[in-house]
Chain A
Amino acid sequence: EVHLLESGGGLVQPGGSLRVSCAASGFTFNNYAMIWVRQAPGKGLEWVSGMSGSGGGTYQADSVKGRFTISRDYSKNTMYLQMNSLRAEDTAVYYCAKGHASYCSGGTCYLDYWGQGTLVTVSS
């Protein structure tokens, strides 16, 4: 059974940094792209960042380019999102999701499994 568990959310001041994690199990981690999607309170979904199964391709939303970095540790079956220079508008629940294929460029992937999310609040 596929299971995704996010952790690392919390309260951070504007301009600060935070790293959220997504521990995956139940599938061959390096065969599938992994994606971060966020949802601001009461708002819709937004694709944030993604990485191909092999790690050779990364995808970023314009809103986070230069500030967020995605990575994967294949020995731990874990994906990370390092978030720097955080802004109030980055406040959201951050979900990790599994792509159905190894590459997701442009959103060719559909997201077949999701974690429960971790809340990141950027506020002074």
Chain B
Amino acid sequence: QSALTQPASVSGSPGQSITISCTGTSSDVGGYNYVSWYQQHPGKAPKLIIYEVSNRPSGVSNRFSGSKSGNTASLTISGLQAEDEADYFCSSYTTSSTLGVFGTGTKVTVL
């Protein structure tokens, strides 16, 4: 099972909005609403920020939002803040494995 495709890096200025894409196939992202997103700061464990495409866990800022169109899921961070500088990974259900599949990861830089 190949990893889902994400841009290696995305950057933005404080206050701006950025969007990270996560592209798969109809066997994973496109076929099911089991897409989740994780934020990982350097040296730290990943943290769930979006589940089932567009739902936010309790305690996660509403500046994070998720969506999906066709085989591509997206994570949007609005009102970018310095603390948002981290790596972001998507994950999806897949028919190709008994486990899920992660994206390649995107490094977000706040300019």
Write the residues of chain A forming the contact surface with B, with a CB cutoff of 8 angstroms.
35, 37, 44-50, 59-62, 95, 97, 100, 104-117
B94 contacts A107, CB within 8 Å?
yes
Of A60, A107, A117, the residue contacting B93 (CB under 8 A) is A107
Q: List B contacts of A45 (CB < 8 A).
A: 38, 46, 89, 91, 102, 105
Shortest beta-carbon distance, B50 to chain A, in Å?
9
Residues of A with C-beta under 8 A to B91: 45, 107, 110-111
Interface positions, chain B 88-106, Cβ under 8 Å from A, are 89, 91-95, 97-105
Does A46 contact B98, Cβ atoms closer than 8 Å? no
Judge whether B84 is part of the interface by a CB distance below 8 angstroms: no
Centre residue among A108, A110, A117 by max chain B CB count within 10 A: A110
Interface of B is mostly: loop
Asked whether A47 lies within 8 Å of B48 as measured between CB atoms, the reply is no
A-binding residues in B (CB < 8 A): 1, 3, 34, 36, 38, 44-48, 51-52, 57, 89, 91-95, 97-105
Kindly state the separation between the CA atoms of A95 and B52 in the bound complex, as whole angstroms.
Answer: 22
B3→A59 contact, CB < 8 A: no
Q: Which residues of B contact A105 (CB under 8 A)?
A: 98
A residues within 8 A CB of B103? 44
Apart from A107-B93, A117-B45, 9 more pairs, CB < 8 Å: A35-B99, A44-B3, A44-B102, A47-B100, A47-B102, A49-B99, A60-B98, A107-B91, A111-B46
CB of B37, distance to nearest CB on chain A (Å): 9
* Whole-angstrom distance between the Cβ of B71 and the nearest chain A Cβ: 16
